[in-house]
Homo-oligomer: A and B are copies of this chain.
Amino acid sequence: MGNADFECRQRVGVPPPKPFLLSLKSSLKETFFPDDPLRQFQNQPPGRKLVLGLQYFVPILEWAPRYTFEYFKADVVAGITIASLAVPQGISYANLANLPPIMGLYSSFVPPLVYAMLGSSKDLGVGTVAVSSLLISAMLTKEVNPIQNPKLYVQLALTSTFIAGVFQAALGFLRLGFIVDFLSHATIVGFMGGAATVVCLQQLKGILGLVHFTHGTDLVSVMRSILTQTHQIGHLKKGLNPPSVSELAFGSEYLPTAIKTGIITGFIALAEGIAVGRSFAMFKNYHIDGNKEMIALGMMNIAGSCTSCYLTTGPFSRTAVNFNAGCKTAVSNIVMAMAVMFTLLFLTPLFHYTPLVVLSSIIIAAMLGLMDYEAVVHLWKVDKFDFVVCIGSYLGVVFGSVEIGLVVAVVISLLRVLLFVARPKTHVLGNIPNSVAFRSIDQYPVARSIPGILILQIDAPIYFTNANYLRERISRWVDEEEDKLKSSLEIGLQYVILDMSAVGSIDTSGISMLEEIKKTLDRRGLKLVLANPGSEVMKKLDKSKFIEAIGEEWIYLTVAEAVGACNFMLHSCKSNSTKTIESEEAQADNIV
């Protein structure tokens, strides 16, 4: 093997220069349109494009022509099933939100109709949810007392629903749906558990009060107590949703509260609706467009806020029942809406006597289902950091408030991401016997280190947050290696190979760090060698002239090639080497 052999090796590619606007366009596209929604419009005549565009924004136009009677039969069964759930749940959750119970029923009439037109999920059952109801109550009650000032309270709830809808639709239109991803699974588990705990404690208080009351044991006073309690729930009038556009209180002094409530509850409701829709879409193997779904959920809340409905989304319980009852399309939501309409027109007075304890039981039963102990145990077993996020979110909600819980969880989650980038792992690599693979010595105890050569792998992008750390850490690896070799009779350290395979990106601070490392190593008489830098990194190294500084011949496609070249130099320069290194030589020959 001679120097000439090295010349015919595959060079590490520097990607061809790409105009700035083109690369900006492609990275914007990847950020905001990762699902490539315009793909289906390519190479279509204008008329077809119009139809596709309409179908994109109003999905019912796409699937309605293919709708069959078989589907309809299944959807009717599923729709009536979820309607029977919707009535008591609607009343209970409205109670939780300190709103008139009839609003819970209204909310199961208009929003499902809107969703059936615009939504892309076939399984989502639309309705109010416990957590959002609780949030509305918690945030609005701070400012307005719902007993003393019920009209203003309802106005604020409707206004915040409107704002939640606008916010949700705007996120969808602006393709910012990925913000929802920042609520991790662990955050949601902790948050739901905390909210459920708070709600249960509140309901227990009520139930305990009732228990205390029955010490009287006579039926008349118990009945009276129950009737008194139900009277606190408010009257249930017959009739469909009255319009409520005039109730939107944009001129109110409490508008900032309504905006804050709308954005927070809208965000939480969105996260729940999208997560539920995606989970069930996965079961049936179809795709949900997150941004389109946000527009649908937002539109349904805007329409809802104008027709006396408060915040709705896709609750897990109702969707699961819908799915199990065999729904085929969003028509099941239309059927549910019709059933609720029938209830509103003819049956409402019957629900007047639903006692508080029944509502409390419904709420507590729903809440207990939200506390996912198994998920918490799973988090502890698999990922301690996610466990901390979950517990932080839980404790924040229980001992602080829902907002504090959310902020705590999101901050801890983001800190984890930042910490990963600020303190990347560096591994010493060794050769796996009988292969050209080089792997971490910690993970593969069989991996053998190569005398005279230190191979380090960096496990994260090199950014300003970790540039100083990496410089210190790499110096420390070199120090430790030299200390170790000093005491042995082995060949001294000559080469430091940085395996850049896992370095996805680099910024100017990172390049300065590499330049400093090179200078330091040069001064110590050591040679810096790079292995397998990716295209992003090569582009930056090229532009900053670092490739010229290090010499293109010291950048290799694989660690094995780099080791081969270093070994060749060691062998030809150090004839007084105390150890033969033919085996590695032979191995390097295989790949050159």
Contact = CB atoms under 8 A, between A and B. Distances in A.
A290 B557 contact: no
Interface stretch (A101-109, A134-142, A227-235, A375-383): A375-383
Interface string A14-33: 01000010001001001100
A523 B287 CA distance: 14
Interface string A101-140: 0000000000000000000000000000000000000000
Interface residues of A, number: 96
A171 interface: no
A385 interface: yes
A472 B34 contact: yes
Interface in A439-456: 439-440, 442-446
A508 B379 contact: yes
A185 B512 contact: yes
Contacts of A181: 422, 464-469
A7 interface: no
Nearest to A461: B420
B507 A378 contact: no
Contact of A535 (B183, B440, B534): B440
Contacts of A536: 425
Contact of A504 (B10, B473, B502, B520): B502
A35 B420 contact: no
Interface stretch (A86-94, A260-268, A325-333, A429-437): A429-437
A15 B442 contact: yes
A349 interface: no
Interface in A133-176: none
B178 A540 contact: no
A516 interface: yes
Contact of A443 (B15, B24, B422): B15
**Total identical chains:** 2
A178 B468 contact: yes
B184 A509 contact: yes
Contact of A464 (B182, B378, B382, B507): B182
A159 B444 CA distance: 56
A383 B557 contact: no
B508 A378 contact: yes
A352 interface: no
Contacts of A414: 418
A423 interface: yes
A437 B386 contact: no
A370 interface: no
A498 to B, nearest CB: 14
B475 A10 contact: no
Contacts of A509: 184-186, 386
Interface string A501-539: 111110111011000100110011000000010111010
Nearest to A541: B382
A421 interface: yes
18 contacts: A10-B446, A13-B439, A13-B443, A13-B445, A35-B476, A184-B465, A184-B507, A185-B508, A185-B512, A278-B468, A382-B508, A382-B544, A383-B508, A417-B417, A417-B421, A420-B461, A420-B463, A435-B591
Q: Sorted from nearest, which 10 A-B pairs have the closest CB atoms?
A: A184-B464, A459-B504, A443-B535, A502-B502, A13-B443, A382-B544, A382-B543, A185-B509, A386-B508, A13-B444
Given A420-B505, A425-B504, A459-B504, 19 more contacts: A10-B446, A13-B443, A34-B469, A35-B476, A181-B464, A181-B465, A185-B464, A186-B508, A282-B516, A290-B468, A381-B543, A382-B508, A382-B544, A416-B463, A418-B418, A420-B421, A420-B504, A425-B536, A437-B557
